[in-house]
A and B are shown apart, each in its own frame.
Chain A
Amino acid sequence: MDSTGNKYLFYTKEYSPLFTSLQRYFNYILKQELNLLSQIELLTSTNAILVYQEERENPDLLKIVANNSNIKIIVVGFDSNSSLNLIDFSNIKNNLSKIICSEGSQQRQVFTEIELIDKIQNFFKGHGEESIFQVLNAVMYCFQNYEFYKSGGLTDEEYKDYYVAPAKSQWEKFLIRFDKYKVYLRLLRYNVEVSEIDNYCVILDEFVKNSSELIEVQETEDENNLAKVKKNLGLIKKIDYFFTTISNKLGLMDAPIQSPGS
């Protein structure tokens, strides 16, 4: 029996009996070795990861999949009506033999395109929470009013309590959400955009975390701070642009980020 390479399995404690049985089946019947996925460095394009359908959302697995586009993923399960092209256990010998023999077969998807888009829709719209655009908007609102604050339109206390503090909290919310969903964006092949946004987030995070320093600074530093604020506002707008573009491409057009009062 030809083999496309070693087969690797991914499992968590939850499904260990299933994979122990599969290991035996591979060993005695298919004469193949099925190993525990433990060393990422062993992953090459000739390897395959068997994923049980219930474990598709495992965050560690998703990171591996998103960061290693060459890995062949074989979703195994027990649902002949699944929209996903999974290897159904109801005809196990035939189905498993086929994947072992099928040299150069296409990589199977962990999620269907529809499932991924559905997840991204949740990312944009939120789960009963603000849309991602609203979250970004709230951060932007704080810094767009920096000039107003410096011109005496707001007191230090007002700016701190009603602008900086909410911006920090919203920013944290943004990071948590983006971190959770970026893997799905990568699976939809938005790797470049995600990497760019990741880079912006590093800069913005430093800026937002230290934004209290914008208050009560010497007048001589105002100009420097204003430039800093404008630069970071630009980064937020770039993130917004990426999201708006992705949202449009996926047909998920949501309310774009809006200026306060508009």
Chain B
Amino acid sequence: MEKVVILIPREKDHFHSDLYIEKKEFTDVSINGEEVYSLYKTDTEFLFILLRKFGQKTNTEYWIEEKLIELDKILSIKFPQNDRIIAIHWGGMENSTALINYILPKTDASFKLINGTAYLTFYSDSNDQIRTKTNGAIYKFLLARLKILSFAYLKKMIIKLWLPLAIDIQGLSEVQNDTVKADEYFAEVKNETEYLESLKSFPKDDDFPRWAEIRDKNGYKEFDFKKFLDALTNNDFGLLLNSTNYLRVEEEETEEIKKLKNEVAELEKKSNEEEYEKKKKELEEKMKNPNFLPNWLQDVVGVIDEKIKESSKPKD
């Protein structure tokens, strides 16, 4: 379930109305008897807003981490690693030059992950301008942006969690005919218990958008990431080998690839950069092992990219 946690430092109370959330019920939060925050919590949506203090000296990342610790210690709101949290770090100072245009096109560029936490920085210097730009519905605007960010976050998490395993699978596929080496390699991989365990928690089935479509299109018929993971954690190299087609050695170099390789080498010598890059790309495409897991991963993230693009389109 997604959740919203909005934490507003006491000295920034005016943000209640700026965010158009004034109708929501806030709880006063005290630290050492002094009211320092207004807190709004709900379990229906997913948003975590932090407002940066004026003249803050610390690095943004440290500051957010500090606030997360504060939330945990003082308010008992826990943000475990890999939980999907997006903190919106609302910066900006009074009496500044207009930079509202900076907000809309560049927000994704500011998207980062810190210890499993995603945060987005919104810069503002005039709340009036933000209100105008977002037709007054700042809160609505933030939630809309959040939808996009959730996809972006999903993409990063899928890559972050599955890429290491993908590299191991590729490595195993290349040594599988050398029994001693394969056993040794496999032993090392399955020894990564903490990492393998983390894969079970994420992604969930729903996190694979249009998986069936991708699977059918690319012929990943035998791939089942759960089965695959089970085979790994159960030390079953045989099952891994037989039940998936991801441990196939790369195809032998075809005549076509040999020819392409020669052409690329010639073009490199001739310093024909444009043509060289074009041919190089063609060669790389041809040399891709269609069964290599990152290709599959690329398809999954490609679909997420499409969703991000769709969500970014202006709605009538």
Contact B92 A93 (CB under 8 A): no
Given A80-B298, A128-B96, A173-B55, A90–B181 Cβ distance below 8 Å? Answer: no
Which of B93, B113, B163, B170 has a CB less than 8 Å from the CB of A78?
A: B163
A91 in complex: contacting residue of B124, B163, B287, CB < 8 Å = B287
On whether the beta carbons of B175 and A28 are closer than 8 Å, the reply is yes
Which A residues from 120 to 134 make CB contacts under 8 A with B?
Answer: 125-131, 134
Q: Which of B278-307 contact A (CB under 8 A)?
A: 284, 287-288, 292, 294-295, 297-298, 301
B185 x A28 contact (CB < 8 A): yes
> Please, how many angstroms separate the alpha-carbon atoms of A24 and B166 in the complex?
12
Nearest CB of chain A from residue B271's CB, rounded to whole Å: 13
Q: Are B294 and A17 in contact (CB under 8 A)?
A: no
Q: Mark A165-209, 1 if CB is under 8 A from B, else 0.
A: 000010011001000000000000000000000000000000000
* Partner among B91, B192, B294 whose Cβ is within 8 Å of the Cβ of A128: B91
Interchain CA distance A53-B103 in the complex, whole Å: 23
B116 CB to nearest chain A CB (Å): 8
Closest-CB distance, B191 to chain A (whole angstroms): 10
CB neighbours of B195 from chain A (8 A)? 17, 20
* Residues A21 and B91 in contact in the complex (CB < 8 Å), given A78-B298, A91-B287: no
Main secondary structure of the interface of A (DSSP, over half): helix
A22 within 8 A of B: yes
Assembled-state Cα–Cα distance A222/B163 (Å): 67
Q: Which residues on the B side are within 8 Å of A176 (C-beta)?
A: 57
Once bound together, how far apart are the Cα atoms of A4 and B97, in whole Å?
Answer: 50
When distances are taken between beta carbons in the complex, the residues of chain B under 8 Å from A15 are 160
A92, B165: Cβ atoms under 8 Å?
no
Given contacts A28-B171, A131-B97, contact A89 B294 (CB under 8 A): yes
Of A54, A78, A94, A126, the most chain B CB neighbours within 10 A belong to A78
- How long is the Cα–Cα vector from A90 to B284 in the complex, in angstroms? 10
Q: Could you tell me the dominant secondary structure of chain B's interface residues?
A: helix
Q: Contact flags (1/0) for B89-101 with A, using CB distance below 8 Å?
A: 0011100110100
Residue in B99, B170, B188, B250 whose beta carbon sits within 8 Å of that of A126 in the complex: B99
> Are B102 and A127 in touch, CB under 8 angstroms?
yes
B63 → A minimal CB distance (Å)? 13
Contact B164 A20 (CB under 8 A): yes
**Known interface pairs A18-B163, A129-B92; A92-B124 also in contact (CB < 8 Å):** no
A125 and B97 contacting across the interface, CB-CB below 8 Å: yes
Kindly state whether residue B168 has any CB partner on chain A within 8 Å.
yes
Verify A125–B99 contact, CB threshold 8 A.
Answer: yes
Tell yes or no: A111 within 8 A of B by CB: no
Question: Does B159 make an interface contact (CB < 8 A)?
Answer: yes
User: Quick one: given A21-B167, A28-B171, are A78 and B57 in contact (CB under 8 Å)?
Assistant: no
- Residues on B with beta carbons closer than 8 Å to the beta carbon of A17: 164, 192, 195
Known: A91-B287, A127-B123. A14 touches B174 (CB 8 A): no
Inter-chain CA distance A134–B301, complex, in Å, is 43
Within the complex, the shortest CB–CB distance from A140 to chain B, in Å, comes to 18
A29 an interface residue at 8 Å Cβ cutoff? yes
| A29-82, CB < 8 A from B | 29, 54, 57, 59, 78, 80
Q: How far is the CB of B98 from chain A (nearest CB, A)?
A: 9
Residues of A within 8 A of B301 (CB): 78
CB contacts under 8 Å to B, within A3-20, are 14-15, 17-18, 20
CB of B167 within 8 A of CB of A128, answer no
Minimum CB distance partner of A134 in chain B: B97
Q: B30 near A: Cβ within 8 Å?
A: no
Q: How far is the CA of A172 from the CA of B250 in the complex (A)?
A: 58
Whether the Cβ atoms of A128 and B99 lie closer than 8 Å is yes
Is residue B115 within 8 Å, beta carbon to beta carbon, of the partner chain?
yes
Q: Which B50-75 residues sit within 8 Å CB-CB of chain A? A: 55, 57, 59
Measured CB to CB, the nearest residue on chain B to A18 is B164
Is A25 at the interface (CB under 8 A from chain B)? yes
Shortest distance in angstroms between A33's beta carbon and chain B's nearest beta carbon? 15
Q: Given that A17-B192, A24-B168 are contacting pairs, would A29 and B174 also be in contact in the complex, using a CB cutoff of 8 Å?
A: yes
B93 CB contacts on chain A under 8 angstroms: 128-130
Q: Quick one: given A54-B156, A90-B295, are A126 and B97 in contact (CB under 8 Å)?
A: yes
Set of chain A residues within 8 Å of B192, measured between Cβ atoms: 17, 20
A57 to B114, CA, bound (A): 12
Interchain CA distance A130-B295 in the complex, whole Å: 46
7 A-B pairs with the lowest CB-CB distances in the bound complex, closest first: A128-B92, A128-B125, A21-B164, A128-B123, A17-B164, A21-B167, A127-B123
A-B pairs with beta carbons under 8 Å apart, 30 shown: A14-B113, A17-B192, A18-B160, A20-B164, A21-B168, A24-B188, A25-B170, A28-B175, A54-B113, A54-B156, A57-B112, A78-B163, A78-B294, A80-B298, A89-B163, A89-B294, A90-B292, A90-B294, A91-B284, A91-B288, A93-B170, A126-B97, A126-B99, A128-B99, A128-B102, A128-B124, A129-B92, A129-B96, A129-B125, A173-B55
Binding site for B on A (CB under 8 A): 14-15, 17-18, 20-22, 24-25, 28-29, 54, 57, 59, 78, 80, 89-95, 125-131, 134, 169, 172-173, 176
Q: Give 12 A-B pairs besides A24-B189, A28-B174, A127-B91 with Cβ atoms closer than 8 angstroms.
A: A18-B167, A24-B185, A28-B185, A78-B301, A80-B298, A91-B287, A95-B284, A127-B92, A129-B93, A130-B93, A134-B97, A176-B57
